[in-house]
Amino acid sequence: MSEKERAVKLAQETAKKLVECGTVIDDHYRQFRELRLVTSDLSFQSALLNVEHAFFMVVQSMNVLRDNLRLLEVAEKKKEIE
């Protein structure tokens, strides 16, 4: 198996793991959001909001990674990678 084939296979495996991880992250995000909505302590709400924002940043990074993995596969299919 060539390096290109290995890279495409690894990209596909990574994309699958991103979906699994994204599901778990989404569940945890929702739990933190629920906690923020039910608490009356403003400083605790602020801390929870910061956690929610961090989750958002993680998801954005995962989206960038997923998009670049797709671009790698497309380049390989179009034979742009030689």
| Rounded Cα distance, 1 and 18, in Å | 24
Confirm if 66 and 18 have CB atoms less than 8 A apart.
yes
What pTM does this model have? 0.80
Question: What is the mean pLDDT of the segment spanning 9-23?
Answer: 94
| Rounded Cα distance, 46 and 13, in Å | 37
Amino acid at 44: F
pLDDT of residue 80 exceeding 80: no
pLDDT band at 76 (very low <50, low <70, confident <90, very high): confident
Q: What is the DSSP string of 6-56?
A: HHHHHHHHHHHHHHHHHHHHHHHHHHHHHHHHH---HHHHHHHHHHHHHHH
Question: What is the mean pLDDT of the segment spanning 56-79?
Answer: 92
| Rounded Cα distance, 7 and 64, in Å | 17
What percent of the chain is modeled with pLDDT above 90? 80
**For residue range 36-48, what is the model confidence (pLDDT) as tens digits?**
999 999 999 999 9
**What pLDDT is stored for residue 5 in this prediction?**
87
